[in-house]
Homo-oligomer: A and B are copies of this chain.
């Protein structure tokens, strides 16, 4: 899933009739320290996310696996609101046996 921050709303009255009633939110990807990254996606809100909140976005066909977006032309859904991250210092793994 993509880690991002809600930074706005997209308004669209003319749309596929299946989409009526859905909230389209602007989600800007953020790094683990919260700083903004380059990617911004438009996602349907399925959990009541508010502006400024940090969220998880499921994309592709997984974006249609909620009651709200099932079988809809939607490729990104907000499916969780993030409380916090626990990030740990790790050593790079040793993946190959040295000869």
Contact = CB atoms under 8 A, between A and B. Distances in A.
A95 B56 contact: no
Interface string A11-25: 111111011000010
A64 B64 contact: no
A83 B94 CA distance: 10
B16 A1 contact: no
Contacts of A64: 62, 65
B34 A95 contact: yes
Interface residues of A, number: 72
A93 B22 CA distance: 23
B79 A84 contact: no
Interface string A56-84: 10111111111000011111110111111
B93 A5 contact: yes
A90 B42 contact: no
A13 B65 contact: no
Given A85-B26, A93-B30, A79 B5 contact: no
